[in-house]
A and B are shown apart, each in its own frame.
Chain A
Amino acid sequence: MEVHSSDSKSFRSVYEQVFPVVMRVAYHITYNMDVSEDICQEAFIRFYEKGIDFQSVDEAKYWLIRVVKNMSINVIKRKAREDATVERLKKAPSLPILNGEQALIGDETRAMVRSAVERLPEKLKSVLVLKEYADLNYKQIAGILRISESNVKVRVHRARKIMESMLDREEMHVS
């Protein structure tokens, strides 16, 4: 099925299918629901306003995932810079970033996974999040990130290796 992003019927159909995926991508990079909602909203507005023709819903999905992933990475980079700036200027006391977040972390596993994902290097994080939370295969991830499939394979492996060692360490702390 061809998709024209400014056609309100296609828009709704893509939205219905893709929103949960991009929301997960944004959330598992930023770990902030409000920020993720903002990012997704912005991405879908761009999607609608640009009036792009896609050959299939999947192609539209890849476009949206790429946009959301990039925005999410920019937000966390910027957040880090902003924290540094705020710290430097001592203009405002640094507030906890994650308002509205506590409610979501009901259990320890989630908190551990989150802190491990947050510490992953950016490139591994992108690949891991797309693999596990957007449910994409190596080829799809390669297309979205514009890297080779074998690169995806290696990064998935490295990300899991780091995750495993971080989670083991966390578990030892907890118990």
Chain B
Amino acid sequence: MCLDDQILNTYLDGELGEPWKTQVIEHLNYCVACNTRLEQLKRLRETLLSSALTQQEIQPHQEKVLSFIEKNIIEKKHINIFRKTFRVSMPMVMATAAAFVVILTGVLLFTRPDGLPTGQIIPNVAIPSAGSVVQVRATENLSAAKLLENFTLEEILQYLSSRGYEVEVKVKEIQPVVHQTDQNEIGSEKPAEEPTVEQ
């Protein structure tokens, strides 16, 4: 009986245990069909491998990221223990980014737990404080929404301001109770769960 692809793939990966391995080798000694199939599977693998990112392509990124981390993370650590890293992920499409952040800001306004009047929670947009690191991410990657929730409105405004956005906060209607419908609508585009753990 001939070998199936599953067996051949496992054999190809060097993961076939005994006694199957010996049996496969014996079979391959005389069966042309299975040898042909094995060759095809090998070629498929080679095609995939040949499209891999090369070390040469990786190198500039490797150096850039290392120097960023050394400057901003490793060296800073010793200088200022109160350093507060303020990293916000920005979407690839900037227009979407602005819209997205503004929407989230709305959420913060509406859900502020202590029920302060809005006037008191909109601060003046201040210059970035000396201790914070503002880093722009080229992409909206990780969990921007989750990150944003950890910042005060002031920090978000500061950040946007430092990025050259002119931020105007308008509250068109404020009701003492949380806007259930608004919330749900926004919730529907809530991004980023925790990284998934595969089952």
Residues of A participating in the B interface, judged by any CB pair closer than 8 Å: 8, 11-12, 15, 19-20, 23-24, 27-28, 32-42, 44-45, 48-49, 67, 70-71, 73-75, 78, 81-82, 85-86, 89, 91-92, 94-95, 97, 104, 109-110, 113-114, 123, 126, 128, 131-133, 137-138, 145-147, 153-154, 156-157, 160-161, 163-164, 167
Stretch with Cβ within 8 A of A (4 or more), from B67-75, B124-132, B169-177: B67-75
With A34-B138, A35-B138, A163-B44 already in contact, the answer to whether A74 and B195 are too (CB < 8 A) is: yes
Closest to B143 in A: A74
Closest to B16 in A: A153
Within 8 A of A (CB), among B41-93: 41, 44-45, 47-53, 55, 57-58, 61-62, 64-66, 68-69, 73-74, 91-93
B61→A33 contact, CB < 8 A: yes
CA of A49 to CA of B10, assembled, Å: 39
With A74-B196, A164-B44 already in contact, the answer to whether A153 and B191 are too (CB < 8 A) is: no
A153→B197 contact, CB < 8 A: no
> A-B contact count, CB below 8 Å?
157
Q: What is the distance, in angstroms, from A25's C-beta to the closest C-beta of chain B?
A: 10
B199 close to chain A: CB less than 8 A: yes
A20→B139 contact, CB < 8 A: no
Interface residue tally of chain B, by bracket?
35 or more
Q: What is the distance, in angstroms, from A3's C-beta to the closest C-beta of chain B?
A: 15
A67→B65 contact, CB < 8 A: no
Residues of B within 8 A of A38 (CB): 137-139, 141
